[in-house]
Amino acid sequence: MTCDIVLTGIGLLSPLGGKESFFRAMGEGAESPCRTAGNASLPPGGLTELLGIKSPKLQVARYLDPLAKNAIVAVEEAMRDAGIAPQAVAQDPYGFGILLAATRGPGATRDKAYEQLRARQGKLLSSTLFSNFGYNVPAATAAMAHGIKGPNLTVAGRSNLSLILLRRARQLLATERCHTVFTGFSESLANGEAARPVPQWSCIFCLERAERARQRGARAGVALTEIELESPGLVQPRSCALAFRLPRPIPQPLPLAALAGAETLDLDLGDPLGIGPEYLPLLQAGRIKATERLRGEETGYVVLPVSSRHGLCLLGVARA
Amino acid sequence: MSHQSESEQHVADKETIVKELKKILVEDLFVSIPEGEIKLEDSLSSDLGVDSVGWVELVTILEEKYGIEITGDEAASENLWTLDRLSGLVLAKIAARRGERVVSEGHG
Amino acid sequence: MGDASARGVSLPRVLVTGLGSVSALGENTAQLWDGLLAGRTGIKPVANFRQEHLRNVLAGEIRLSAAQREYAQRYRLDSRIALFAHLAIDEALKDAAWAPVCLQKKKVGLVLGTSLGMSLVEKSIDQLDECGGEQVDTYDDFAGVVEELADAYRVSGEALIVTTACAAGTNAIGIAKDMIRHEGYEVVICGGVDTLDRMKYLGHSALNTLTPTLIRPFTPERDGTLFGEGAGILVLERESLAQDHSIYAACAGAGYSCDAHHITGPDPSGAGAVKVMGQALGDAGIRPEDVDHINLHGSGTPLNDGMEYTAIRDLFGPAAERIPVSSIKPAIGHVMGAAGALEAIATVLSLRDQKVPPTLNVAAPDPELPLNLVCGEARMAAIEHALSNSFGFGGCNGAVIFSRVNADPGTDP
């Protein structure tokens, strides 16, 4: 597929707050200010309640799983960031799609349903909670809230789930099933007893076909390209580090805003995925390849390693 | 006198039924308005946000809790129900069921 | 459609070369198809979990045979969902004459649909009651499921699970088709898998989706559905690779849309369904009147069937009353995430045999929904292009089109 895809907007909810506070905190190397001591102190409304986010879009149903709420709000922010007015969606609802990744899905709602079933001596499962159980509920509820009627998909996979997500989004756009996809995730970790940052996240990218973004006069976005390395030798099982933590703060200003001229900005993330020394030459080769491929095209790029067990993929991001 | 089931022991006065209904609406149907702020004239669908899924569940809970039966026709059109009207229906059903019990016991 | 055709580059056709299934009608595809054509039912009272408090105890349940249990033991499969997937993939790959060791050298993908998988019960082969313990893990480890299957079948390309409820199987097939047509994949194993358990039946009992009797789609008496379990797998291949003797049909088109209407009920106007079917037709380059058979979603709920009729009438116009249509849900149940895949298999076999299986439990179709519903007995039909629909919870819709390989390509090559 040779369709050019651009990222024109981002919506984000995180334990570090919304998008602005998230990137500021990342730049400062700050820790999450939002901590809860186990299940008891997490407000029932989850992250939106904790962050004090009220949106009329949250009225779409009486009961909303917290992940659904987070998805609604993050899609709303991504739309606004991309300069897409609600009227634009209302006039062309099938032109917009939603594609989310799921791991645990609405687990808290399922937990609650079990609790309630026990309280009712196993006789009656809540139909409201049952309706909100499914892995596709965040995506479907976000569609209802925003009137988005194009392709609505939720996918799960293994360690390269982020890459799967971006590729599937690209497929939808390249095959013209819609011209804009809100893609990303709204997820949570199980709430343990230990104090930890609020374990809910949602991040939504607004991805569009480049020509559509140009036609509608979108502000300059970021083009996504993928460079995949064939690596037939990598069939040994390897466990990647479970937590991806940057070794040091991202330099300010943010790389995306700083890309200009012919200088490449290599963030030298080290080995954040715990890939291991034998993979690093591959990473080096990948960086060189990326440079060759993108040199002569516009400006700089950020190379992010994304690995799967069977190979290493580098996701290159260049200014569009 | 035969053993009375839990449902038969319900105090059949409006105030108690309304209180119990409010509790069900908040705890089982996730109505986001606090119990103390729910009014008798509130429409279940437009004021309290009970949709078609919630309505089916509400009917099932009421049938189970009060030992009554609400037919499909009676339960139709959830958007016509207010808390006032619903509590009236539940009261009437409880009374009707007790009336039947009294009659049948008289044949002993 | 798409960039390549605009540049005059022809895109590869995608062919179906292998089928595999496990369902309430049998342990393999031959048993499924024979059963469907003969009008047999796989619906029976559930034995794998407790029956109390359920609105209906009938389901398209699979009672594991000794051979299936032995297979699970031999391959150390401790989860019912993995067992069904393995059985069906094994059959499909053998049918397509692909040994996993040969797949390793190709660009191969895996795309499976499911709804909840085994999220609500403990992972096991056959312990399907709700969990008794205080701490319950209420999610299925889909990453683990995918990982294990990709390893077992040497899938080195992308492997993913689609979780769009009842549309998942159909959506998975569409994604797989496009991976071959547009992304250079050579073979993609696709379909869907799902399991029954007591929590799902308690949920549907509460939601009133279950009929108190039997599934009677498109009849005036229709009042709900029943659920089933199993797996349906299709092997899709790039045309240049496929061996003549094992080609069933071309997977010609797919569509996606969302009703954005209600979390469980469909948009009664049928607009989302019209869009999804239309997109599939456009993708296949055929017109509505080129369709010779529709495998309905046909779940038998009052809401679905009315909506599905409206959408078919609106899109197909006069052809709506002519095209023979059928639902196999009365025979095997609504198999949730695997429904789209098992129904796709039935659609492909309808193309191969030029025969439409009957819709069970239909004494007389509803005159308010005048479609050419095949009921009573299987019917011969001249089929060049066939459409299969799936409409899921959350308003997620899927449609897929299969065509005979030497079929007239229609108006748009």
C165: closest CA among C330, C281, C334?
C334
Is A175–C258 a contact, with Cβ atoms under 8 angstroms apart?
no
Distance from CA of C364 to the nearest CA of A (A): 32
Percent of chain C with pLDDT over 90: 85
- List the 275-304 stretch of A: residues with Cβ below 8 A of B: none
Does C362 contact chain A (CB < 8 Å)?
no
3-state secondary structure of C131: coil
Which residues of chain B lie closer than 8 angstroms to C206, CB-CB? 56-57, 60
At A229, the pLDDT band (50, 70, 90 cuts) reads very low
Which residues of chain A lie closer than 8 angstroms to C208, CB-CB? 127
Q: Of the candidates A61, A123, A127, which has its C-beta nearest B57's C-beta? A: A127
Q: What is the pLDDT of residues A141-159, one digit of tens each?
A: 999 999 999 999 999 987 6
Residue C3, pLDDT above cutoff 70: no
Is A62–B64 a contact, with Cβ atoms under 8 angstroms apart?
no
Average pLDDT over residues A17-35: 70
Which residues of chain A lie closer than 8 angstroms to C255, CB-CB? 177
At A272, the pLDDT band (50, 70, 90 cuts) reads very low
Q: Of the candidates A156, A159, A310, which has its C-beta nearest C161's C-beta? A: A156
Distance from CA of B103 to the nearest CA of C (A): 30
Least confident piece of the model among A39-43, A251-255, A262-266, B3-7: A251-255
At A264, the pLDDT band (50, 70, 90 cuts) reads very low
Q: What is the pLDDT of residues C208-253, one digit of tens each?
A: 899 999 999 999 999 999 999 999 999 999 999 887 778 999 999 9
The H or E element spanning position C40 is none
Q: Which amino acid is at A29?
A: G
- Taking a C-beta distance cutoff of 8 angstroms, is the pair C164, C310 a contact? no
Q: What is the pLDDT of residues A297-310, one digit of tens each?
A: 443 444 454 544 44
Which residues of chain A lie closer than 8 angstroms to C182, CB-CB? 1, 171, 174-175
Does A127 contact chain B (CB < 8 Å)?
yes
Which residues of chain A lie closer than 8 angstroms to B48, CB-CB? 62
Q: What is the pLDDT of residues A72-106, one digit of tens each?
A: 999 999 999 999 999 999 999 999 999 999 988 99
Does A49 contact chain B (CB < 8 Å)?
no
Q: What is the pLDDT of residue A261?
A: 30
Topology of domain B11-105 in CATH is 1.10.1200
CA distance A48 to A184: 17
Distance from CA of C206 to the nearest CA of B (A): 6
Does A131 contact chain B (CB < 8 Å)?
yes
| DSSP-H helix ranges across C99-161 | 100-103, 142-152
- Which comes out higher in pLDDT, residue B17 or A42? B17
Which residues of chain A lie closer than 8 angstroms to C258, CB-CB? 97-98, 140, 143, 148-152
Which residues of chain A lie closer than 8 angstroms to C259, CB-CB? 149
Backbone angles phi, psi at A17, to 5 degrees: 105, -160
**Cis status, amide bond into C358, omega within 30 of 0:** no
**Residue B50 CB partners (closer than 8 Å, separation 6+):** A62, B25, B29, B31, B44, B58, B78
In a mutational test of the C interface, the residue from A133, A191, A212 whose CB has the highest number of chain C CBs within 10 Å is A133
Residue A255, pLDDT above cutoff 80: no
Q: What is the pLDDT of residue A286?
A: 45
**Residue C160 CB partners (closer than 8 Å, separation 6+):** A155, A156, A157, A164, A168, C110, C111, C112, C146, C175
User: Average pLDDT over chain A, rounded to whole?
Assistant: 72
User: Which DSSP symbol is given to C264?
Assistant: S
Q: Which chains touch B (3 or more CB pairs under 8 A)?
A: A, C
Average pLDDT over residues C346-352: 98
Which residues of chain A lie closer than 8 angstroms to B56, CB-CB? 127
Is C206–A2 a contact, with Cβ atoms under 8 angstroms apart?
no
Q: Which two tokens stand for residue C277?
A: 């079917």
Distance from CA of B9 to the nearest CA of C (A): 23
Q: Chain centroid to CA C31: how far?
A: 17
HEC profile for chain A? CCCCEEEEEEEEEECCEEHHHHHHHHHHCCCCCCEEECHHHCCCCHHHHHCCCCCHHHHCCCCCCHHHHHHHHHHHHHHHHCCCCHHHHHHCHHHEEEEEECCCCCHHHHHHHHHHHHHCCCCCCCHHHHHCCCCCHHHHHHHHHHCCCCCEEEEEECCCHHHHHHHHHHHHHHCCCCCEEEEEEEEECCCCCCEEECCEEEEEEEEEEHHHHHHCCCCCCEEEEEEECCCCCCCCCCCCCCCCCCCCCCCCCCHHHHCCCCCCCCCCCCCCCCCCHHHHHHHHHHHHHHHHHHECECCCEEEEEEEECCEEEEEEEEEC
In a mutational test of the C interface, the residue from A57, A141, A177, A182 whose CB has the highest number of chain C CBs within 10 Å is A177
Q: Which chains touch C (3 or more CB pairs under 8 A)?
A: A, B
CA distance C226 to A93: 33
Q: What is the pLDDT of residues C41-62, one digit of tens each?
A: 999 999 999 999 999 999 999 9
Distance from CA of C54 to the nearest CA of A (A): 9
Residue A289, pLDDT above cutoff 50: no
Nearest CA in chain C to B64: C53
Q: What is the pLDDT of residue A196?
A: 57
Which residues of chain B lie closer than 8 angstroms to A126, CB-CB? 28, 57
Rounded mean pLDDT for each run of 10 residues along chain B, 108 residues in total: 47 86 91 89 87 85 90 72 91 83 50
- Taking a C-beta distance cutoff of 8 angstroms, is the pair C25, C42 a contact? yes
Largest CA-CA distance found in chain A, in angstroms, rounded = 69
Is B61–A116 a contact, with Cβ atoms under 8 angstroms apart?
no
Is A128–B56 a contact, with Cβ atoms under 8 angstroms apart?
no
- List the 390-409 stretch of C: residues with Cβ below 8 A of A: 392-396
Residue A35, pLDDT above cutoff 90: no
CA distance B97 to B63: 12
- A62-71, A270-279, C288-297: range with highest mean pLDDT: C288-297
Distance from CA of A220 to the nearest CA of C (A): 23
Q: What is the pLDDT of residue C45?
A: 98
Q: At what angle do helices C168-183 and A161-174 cross, to 10 degrees?
A: 80
B60: closest CA among B77, B42, B72?
B72
Q: What is the pLDDT of residue B1?
A: 37
Does C99 contact chain A (CB < 8 Å)?
no
The H or E element spanning position B107 is none
Nearest CA in chain A to B24: A126
Is A62–B31 a contact, with Cβ atoms under 8 angstroms apart?
yes
Q: Give the number of A-B residue pairs with CB atoms closer than 8 Å.
A: 30
C48: closest CA among C231, C299, C229?
C229
Q: Which two tokens stand for residue C370?
A: 């005048």
Q: What is the pLDDT of residues A119-128, one digit of tens each?
A: 888 999 999 9
Does C261 contact chain A (CB < 8 Å)?
yes
Residue C24, pLDDT above cutoff 50: yes
At C156, the pLDDT band (50, 70, 90 cuts) reads confident
Backbone angles phi, psi at C186, to 5 degrees: -100, -40
CA distance C363 to C214: 12
Residue A262, pLDDT above cutoff 60: no
Task: Report chain A's terminal Cα–Cα distance, integer Å.
Answer: 18
Does C51 contact chain A (CB < 8 Å)?
no
CA distance C393 to A140: 9
Q: Of the candidates A93, A98, A107, which has its C-beta nearest C139's C-beta? A: A107
**Which of the residues of C are catalytic?**
166, 297, 334
Q: Of the candidates A110, A130, A154, which has its C-beta nearest C207's C-beta? A: A130
**Residue B1 CB partners (closer than 8 Å, separation 6+):** none
Q: Of the candidates A62, A116, A124, which has its C-beta nearest B60's C-beta? A: A124
Q: What is the pLDDT of residues C101-111, one digit of tens each?
A: 888 889 999 99
Is A123–B64 a contact, with Cβ atoms under 8 angstroms apart?
yes
Which CATH superfamily hosts domain A5-219? Answer: Thiolase/Chalcone synthase (3.40.47.10)
Q: What is the pLDDT of residue A10?
A: 87
Is B60–C206 a contact, with Cβ atoms under 8 angstroms apart?
yes
Q: What is the pLDDT of residue A32?
A: 60
Backbone angles phi, psi at C150, to 5 degrees: -65, -40
CA distance C215 to C59: 10
Q: Which amino acid is at A228?
A: E
Distance from CA of A125 to the nearest CA of B (A): 9
Please state, in angstroms and as integers, the Cα–Cα distance from residue C11 to each residue in A270, C8, C60, following that order: 41, 9, 40
Which residues of chain A lie closer than 8 angstroms to C394, CB-CB? 134, 136-137, 139-141, 143, 152
Is B56–C263 a contact, with Cβ atoms under 8 angstroms apart?
no
b/e map A27-41, b = 16+ CB within 10 Å: eeeeeeebebeeeee
Which residues of chain A lie closer than 8 angstroms to B28, CB-CB? 116, 126
For chain A, residues classed under CATH 3.40.47.10 are 5-219
Average pLDDT over residues C241-268: 92
Kindly list the domain boundaries of chain B, sorted by start residue. Answer: 11-105
Distance from CA of A116 to the nearest CA of B (A): 8
Which domains can be identified in chain C, with CATH numbers?
A: 13-246 (3.40.47.10), 255-403 (3.40.47.10)
At A22, the pLDDT band (50, 70, 90 cuts) reads confident
CA distance B52 to B71: 16
Q: Which amino acid is at C181?
A: R
Q: What is the pLDDT of residues C284-332, one digit of tens each?
A: 999 999 999 999 999 999 999 999 999 999 999 999 999 999 999 999 9
Nearest CA in chain A to B32: A62
